[in-house]
Amino acid sequence: MSTKNWPLWEIFVRSKNGLEHRHCGSLHAADADMALENARDVYTRRSEGVSIWVVESKNITASNPENNGELFEPAHDKVYRHPTFYDLPDEVKHM
């Protein structure tokens, strides 16, 4: 038996129409079709979703945690970039 693993896939599930797809985890599958079926069984068995995206993990380019300082810290002291000074009407949801 081969001990080689199937490639890793990242799974994104949209919980209902109108909302965005959210990353919910990863799994192994031989190809995209199998990844979709596996994602259906692993991540939507308790009716968590209406749509699934799968992306092979190797296709994701991630930022390097070592660069966190220069990438993210400059934003910490710029509160004026947050739109926290507006009153949101109650009807607006998912903000």
Residues between 2 and 21 that touch other proteins (CB under 8 A): 6
Is 32 a binding residue for other proteins by CB under 8 A? The answer is no
Q: 34 vs 55, which CB is nearer to other proteins? A: 34
Strand order through the sheet with 51-56: 21-28, 8-14, 51-56
Helix (H) / strand (E) containing 36: helix 32-43
Beta carbon nearer to other proteins, 19 or 30: 30
Report the run of H or E that residue 69 belongs to, with start and end. Answer: helix 68-72
Return residues touching other proteins (CB under 8 A): 6, 27-30, 33-34, 37-38, 40-42, 45
